Amino acid sequence: MSAFENYRRIAQDVARCAQENGRNPEDVNLIAVSKTVGVPQVEDAVRAGAHHFGENRPELLAEKSEALPDENWHFIGNIQSRRIPQIVQHACLIHSLYQESHADKINAAAAEMGKVQDVLIEVNVSGEESKIAATPEEARALLDHCLALPNVRVRGLMTMAPQGDPQAVEQTFAGLAALADSMREGMAQSDAEVFTELSMGMSEDWQQAIKHGATMVRIGRAIFSDAFVG
Ligand SMILES: *Cc1c(COP(=O)(O)O)cnc(C)c1O
């Protein structure tokens, strides 16, 4: 199976799953996570209709977005301070913001480039402390912090579910959706109107994510790996 065929099939499955859950297929954006493949496979997916790609390494984000500048490039990896200008230069959306110091640096880099950087706050829904995600409490504080930054716009929340435990997966996705709803309640209308995105669901659990309201699913192996059996 090629990326072309896999993307076609997954895109159809995602649309059907949205419909089965009473959702508009246009409200679920399929992000093809291309972090393990090169430009030729990305081009293959583009021919199948893919226009949103996810990368987790700043240098590969830069390389591929420069090769294919008409596509939409999402940064989904761990943020390192010194890489922030490169990420801001190339990412339409940063999915993995979890700390205030990074928000400040994103704001500064975006201001310098004359852009407003869209971001998602990455949350560890179970509330466990994590080095790469905010607890729900930290997410609320980080949102307030970002609302004061003119060149950062928080578009919603992102999470990763624990692998291999279906019940924990459901709890994680339901929990992220509930957290987003409760955060939205406290926001000014103009901020709430753009706080609409839930980035959740990967190759093995995107169906559950769509059921719980995902607006973006990030799918890598099911599109780009021959070894993946869904
Ligand atoms: C790699 C990655 C994905 C895609 O995972 P697959 O299991 O290959 O679909 C999604 N989100 C993040 C943050 C990733 O790092």
CB 81 within 8 A of CB 101: yes
- 17 has pLDDT over 80: yes
Indicate the pLDDT class of residue 130, thresholds 50, 70 and 90: confident
**Residue 26 burial by Cβ neighbours in a 10 Å radius (0-12, 13-18, 19+):** exposed
The single residue listed with the structure tokens 């065929």 is 5
Which residue's CA is minimally distant from atom 14 of ligand 1? 76
CA distance 180 to 201: 16
Give distance in angstroms: CA of 217 to centre of ligand 1. 9
Q: What are phi and psi of 217, to 5 degrees?
A: -110, 140
pLDDT attached to residue 127: 81
Using one digit for the tens of pLDDT, what is the confidence trace for 91-123? Answer: 999 999 999 999 999 999 999 999 999 999 999
Best of 33, 75, 163, 221 for a ligand 1 pocket test (most atoms within 8 Å of beta carbon): 33
Using one digit for the tens of pLDDT, what is the confidence trace for 60-79? Answer: 999 999 999 999 999 999 99
Mean per-residue pLDDT over the chain, rounded: 96
Question: Reduced to 3 DSSP states, what percent helix, strand and coil does the chain have, rounded to the nearest 5?
Answer: 50, 15, 35
**Residues above pLDDT 90, as percent of the chain:** 93
Which residue's CA is minimally distant from atom 13 of ligand 1? 76
The two beta strands, 93-97 and 52-55, are unpaired
The two beta strands, 29-33 and 93-97, are unpaired
pLDDT attached to residue 31: 98
Q: What is the DSSP letter of 213?
A: T
From residue 192, alpha-carbon distances to 57, 116, 184, 189, 197 in Å are 30, 17, 5, 5, 11
On the CB side of 33, CA atoms within 13 Å amount to: 20
pLDDT attached to residue 175: 98
From residue 177, alpha-carbon distances to 36, 47, 212 in Å are 29, 33, 7
CA distance 48 to 192: 34
Indicate the pLDDT class of residue 220, thresholds 50, 70 and 90: very high
Residue 221 Cβ inside 6 Å of ligand 1? The answer reads yes
Indicate the pLDDT class of residue 230, thresholds 50, 70 and 90: low
Average pLDDT (41-53) is: 98
Indicate the pLDDT class of residue 228, thresholds 50, 70 and 90: confident
- 38 has pLDDT over 80: yes
How crowded is residue 69: how many other Cβ atoms within 10 Å of its Cβ? 9
Q: Coil, strand, or helix at residue 78?
A: coil
- 24 has pLDDT over 70: yes
- Give Cα 228 distance to the centre of its chain: 21
